[in-house]
Amino acid sequence: MSIQVDEKYVAEYHNALDQLQQSLSIDLPEFRVSESELRFDVDGVDPDTHRMIYSSRRICDGAFLMTKITSALNYLGLLLNQKEEKKMGYQPPIPAPVASDKS
Q: Burial of 60 by CB count in 10 Å (0-12 exposed, 13-18 middle, 19+ buried)?
A: buried
> Counting Cβ atoms within 10 Å, is residue 10 exposed (0-12), middle (13-18) or buried (19+)?
buried
Per DSSP, 17 falls in state H
Tens-level pLDDT at each residue, the chain (103 residues): 689 999 999 999 999 999 999 999 999 999 999 999 999 999 999 999 999 999 999 999 999 999 999 999 999 999 888 776 666 566 677 776 776 666 5
Q: What is the pLDDT of residue 89?
A: 63
Residue 55, helix vs strand vs coil: strand
